Structure 1
């Protein structure tokens, strides 16, 4: 199973073919236009399912599935966290919960960015049950920006998830420390001398053990299309059986 997240910097319909060359099963795209605006060329693979969330039809959060994977938005979604979306992902062999994330909600005066993730973790606590759970997307955050005494610091969120048995796949797989990442996911204004790591894939430990590869997109190629680099995470095909079929 391959999951990719990418903040496409809008106009996904013009860029889809480049990310689809990596053959994702699940694709989480930030700053994506509404599906009504997605007119793909005939030679671009069409998704099995599409979910989209947002207020601006030119710039929302989209989740696509391919092959035999299907997506269902969970009914207890809290619209206050408009871009932290709990989703059930199923296929004939796999089922798990996934939170698709774009930490960006300017109308929330109490915290528009990483605070959204903190609030959502608290609200969806019962869904974060240490097994078969993935949180993936643009968190707009890094430990280097943490402020002393602020509850919603990036490091506090990492620690809270760790207490629930949910870890950053990049940091575990590449043996990296928070705030000292060797692979940037954002080049501000597409400037190579302004690199940051702000996109993440967290997974429960049962899924973590199944990671085969974790690739951050190459700046020289992806800078043409976005200031963000895609995260491409591949898991063993023998991931975790769909218990509903047992």
Structure 2
């Protein structure tokens, strides 16, 4: 099973071919246009299932299946957490809960970025367990931006997830420490000298045992398409 997250920086219909060469089973795409606008070239593989969320049809959060996995939004989806979507994923043999994330909610005066993830962890705490759980997407956050006086900062989000048996696949696989990542996922304004790691895939203990690779896209290959590079996580069957 291969899961990829990539903030495409809009106009996904023109860029899908490039990320699809990595053959994702599931693809999470922040800043993707509404499905009505996804007029792919005729030879571009079409998704088997798709969910989309947002108010701006040019820039929402899309979740695609390019395999036999199918999606169902969980009934307790909190509409106030607009871009953190709890989804039941199944292919009839294997199922898990996936939280697709684009931590970006300007309408929330109490915090539009990592604070959204903090609130989601508390709202969905009964679903967040050390089995069959993945949180993946653009968190718009890193430990380097922690506000020490604020409980809902990045480091505390990471700790809260780890207390529930859920860990960052990248940090474990590459033996990295939060805040000192060697591999950026964002180049602000597409400048190579402004690198940050703000996209993540967290997984529960049972799934972590199956991680065979975690790849981060490189600047030279992806910068022509987006200010973000993809995270590609492969799990053994």
Normalised-by-shorter TM-score class? over 0.9
Q: Report the equivalent of 1:211.
A: 211
Give how far 1:145 is off.
Answer: 0.5
Q: Report the equivalent of 1:38.
A: 38
1:63 matched to 2:63? The reply is: yes
1:125 match: secondary structure: coil
TM-score (structure 1 length as normaliser): 0.95
Q: Distance in 2 between matches of 1:161 and 1:107?
A: 25
Q: Report the equivalent of 2:47.
A: 47
1:152 match: secondary structure: coil
Give how far 1:92 is off.
Answer: 3.2
The answer as to whether partners of 2:32 and 2:61 remain within 8 angstroms in 1 is yes
Give how far 1:44 is off.
Answer: 0.6
Give how far 1:147 is off.
Answer: 1.4
Q: Report the equivalent of 1:222.
A: 222
Deviation digits for residues 134-175 of structure 1 (CA, Å, limit 9, x no counterpart):
000000000000011210110000000000000000000000
- Where does structure 1 differ by over 3 angstroms across 4 or more consecutive aligned residues? none
1:191 matched to 2:191? The reply is: yes
TM-score (structure 2 length as normaliser): 0.99
Q: Report the equivalent of 2:106.
A: 106
Give how far 1:129 is off.
Answer: 1.9
Structure 2 spans left out of the alignment, 5+ residues = none
Q: Distance in 1 between matches of 2:67 and 2:153?
A: 38
1:7 match: secondary structure: coil
Give the number of equivalent residue pairs: 237
Q: Give runs of aligned pairs for residues 89-168 of structure 1, distance below 5 A.
A: 89-168=89-168
Q: Distance in 1 between matches of 2:24 and 2:89?
A: 14
The answer as to whether partners of 2:26 and 2:67 remain within 8 angstroms in 1 is no
Structure 1 spans left out of the alignment, 5+ residues = 238-246
Q: Distance in 2 between matches of 1:58 and 1:17?
A: 19
